[in-house]
């Protein structure tokens, strides 16, 4: 099958030719007619299979020219980086179409975005929080939305956006087409479908949780953080094999900690991204990694969902994710567009249960490799890796600084003063010879003359 079989229009064919695309991916071919029909649709396909074009090709084909200022198409994505990426993809595809596309997200000046919205937009790409803020400000009117696209919906629900999504559904027109795309089908996603979608048609290219066949997976059993660092440094020394590497960690603290350790060895080859970094820093890190200026990118889960970066040779899970679906998202950063990719996971004994959950979801066992004998097995432990010694009735036990205090407690002496109210004010007035009546300005004068 080629794009010619989809009966697109000339502007879209010209854009696809510029991009060098001739054959649709399976999800693009399967979803095209369903999206075009106007029915609600749920598309399940592994990450990296072209889901953005799967919904945008039929939308752009049927989007008529209009001069109205309010948006007709709304695309919701979980992260700011994805807003930038999706806007870029839509602009490439609508190169020869007179379509106004705008991306809005938090962490930047809302007034600038209000001004951009007021100038008129056809397709709005947004994160849920910033979209709701703009809608509440009344600058953004959503009454003309014809199609709602929720991309990476499983990630949105993982990040706790369910409440915000429900608020957004409440202010959208009831008569609209709902289009939802996801890499995994979780229980949360299923519940959202049942509550808000009208008998959606399901287009599934692979069983939810199936990894891409062109990604080879291996695992190392590692005792602790410092041994993981030693092994990772050893692997990354091979610059020819590990030429573009995404390293995933559990949280912001771990990202900074690992960056510090790797910086001793890789300096200019290294960049880091997590939610505490400024928006410009994050976008710059992604761009430098995408362009090949940096070979290694250390990232948290939140920042790397759905990001389309070509030719990532390896995804290394420095920490094993608690949710197996997150593992699927991580490894989907490599092996994109039918290229070969490699995924490596470094797991400790504590992470064994998470590994078993991942293997159960994928219905396969990840092969285990031996740590090379020249890699030092460290005995040094992080504070959170050390065994916790529990002592009963220890009078010298350290106080937990972060523990909440008692809900009710005795007031301190200085706060036990009685509120004397009016009588207190009268005593003060007598003491400082204040006038008895505020209106009689001559009262003090007359008393003084007596």
Higher pLDDT, 399 or 260: 260
Q: Which of 56, 54, 36 is nearest to 46 (CA)?
A: 54
Contact 176, 40 (CB under 8 A): no
pLDDT of 231 strictly over 90: yes
Rounded CA-CA distance 224/348 in Å is 6
Position 147 confidence tier, pLDDT thresholds 50, 70, 90 = very high
Distant-in-sequence, close-in-space partners of 219: CB < 8 Å, separation ≥ 6: 344, 345, 346, 347, 355, 366, 367, 368, 369
Q: Which of 225, 136, 181 is nearest to 46 (CA)?
A: 181
Position 198 confidence tier, pLDDT thresholds 50, 70, 90 = confident
Looking at CATH, the fold of the domain delimited by 215-373 is given as: Rossmann fold (3.40.50)
Region 236-247 average pLDDT: 94
Query: Which part of the chain is CATH 3.40.50.300?
Result: 3-204, 215-373
Higher pLDDT, 110 or 336: 110
Quote the pTM value: 0.72
What is the model's pLDDT at position 304?
Answer: 59
Reduced to 3 states (helix: H, G, I; strand: E, B; else coil), residue 77 is coil
Rounded CA-CA distance 92/83 in Å is 14
Region 6-12 average pLDDT: 91
pLDDT of 173 strictly over 60: yes
Higher pLDDT, 428 or 51: 51
Higher pLDDT, 227 or 406: 227
Helix extents (H) in 38-109: 51-62, 80-93
Please tell me the CATH superfamily of domain 3-204, with its number.
Answer: P-loop containing nucleotide triphosphate hydrolases (3.40.50.300)
DSSP 164-233: HHHHHHHHS-SS-EEEEEESS--HHHHHHHHHH-SSPEEEESS-TTPPPTTEEEEEEE-SSHHHHHHHHH
Q: Which two tokens stand for residue 417?
A: 């003063």
Q: What angle do CA 261, 264, 266 make, to 5 degrees?
A: 100
Segment 393-423, tens digit of pLDDT: 665 555 555 455 555 455 566 565 655 555 6
What is the model's pLDDT at position 443?
Answer: 53
What is the model's pLDDT at position 414?
Answer: 58
What is the model's pLDDT at position 161?
Answer: 79
Distant-in-sequence, close-in-space partners of 309: CB < 8 Å, separation ≥ 6: 244, 246, 286, 289, 290, 333, 336
* Mean pLDDT of all residues belonging to the chain: 84
Exposure letters 358-376 (e unless 16+ CB within 10 A, then b): bbebbeeebeeeebeeebe
Q: Which two tokens stand for residue 409?
A: 């407690």
Contact 254, 319 (CB under 8 A): yes
Radius of gyration of the CA atoms of the chain, in A: 30
Tell me the sheet residues that pair with 150.
Answer: 76, 180
pLDDT of 298 strictly over 60: yes
Return the half-sphere exposure (C-beta side, CA atoms, 13 A cut-off) of residue 9.
14
**Residue 174: Cβ within 10 Å count:** 6
The enclosing H or E element of 239 equals: none
């Amino acid at each position: 099958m080629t794009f010619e079989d989809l009966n697109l229009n000339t502007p879209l064919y010209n854009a696809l030719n510029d991009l060098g695309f001739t054959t649709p991916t399976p999800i693009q071919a399967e979803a095209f007619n369903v999206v075009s029909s106007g029915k609600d649709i749920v598309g399940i396909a592994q990450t990296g299979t072209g889901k953005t074009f799967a919904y945008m090709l039929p939308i752009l084909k049927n989007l008529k020219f209009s001069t109205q200022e309010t948006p007709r198409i709304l695309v919701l994505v979980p992260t700011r980086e994805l807003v930038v990426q999706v806007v870029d993809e839509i602009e490439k595809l609508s190169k020869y179409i007179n379509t106004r596309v705008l991306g809005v997200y938090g962490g930047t000046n809302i007034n600038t975005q209000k001004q951009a919205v007021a100038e008129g937009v056809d397709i709005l790409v947004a994160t849920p929080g910033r979209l709701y803020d703009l809608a509440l400000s009344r600058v953004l009117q959503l009454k003309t939305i014809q199609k709602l696209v929720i991309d990476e919906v499983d990630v949105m629900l993982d990040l706790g956006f369910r409440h915000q999504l429900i608020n957004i559904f409440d202010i959208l027109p009831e008569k609209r087409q709902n289009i939802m795309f996801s890499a995994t089908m979780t229980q949360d996603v299923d519940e959202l479908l049942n509550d808000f979608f009208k008998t959606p048609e399901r287009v599934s290219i692979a069983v939810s949780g199936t990894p891409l066949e062109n990604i080879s997976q291996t695992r190392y059993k590692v005792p602790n953080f410092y041994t993981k660092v030693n092994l990772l440094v050893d692997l990354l020394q091979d610059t020819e094999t590990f030429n573009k590497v995404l390293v995933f960690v559990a949280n912001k603290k771990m990202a900074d900690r690992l960056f510090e350790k790797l910086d001793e060895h890789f300096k200019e080859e290294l960049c880091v991204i997590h939610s505490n970094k400024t928006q410009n820093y994050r976008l710059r890190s992604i761009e430098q990694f995408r362009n090949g200026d940096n070979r290694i990118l250390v990232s948290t889960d939140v920042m790397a969902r759905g990001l389309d970066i070509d030719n990532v040779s390896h995804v290394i899970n420095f920490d094993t994710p608690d949710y197996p679906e997150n593992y699927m998202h991580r490894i989907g950063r490599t092996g994109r567009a039918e290229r070969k990719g490699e995924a490596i996971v470094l797991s400790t004994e504590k992470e064994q249960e998470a590994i078993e959950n991942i293997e159960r979801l994928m219905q396969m066992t990840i092969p285990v490799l031996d740590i090379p004998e020249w890699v030092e097995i460290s005995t040094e432990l992080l504070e959170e890796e050390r065994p916790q010694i529990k002592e009963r009735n220890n009078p010298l036990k350290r106080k937990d600084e972060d523990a909440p205090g008692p809900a009710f407690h005795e007031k301190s002496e200085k706060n036990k003063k009685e509120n004397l109210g009016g009588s207190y004010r009268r005593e003060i007035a007598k003491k400082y010879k204040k006038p008895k009546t505020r209106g009689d300005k001559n009262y003090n004068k007359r008393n003084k003359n007596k």
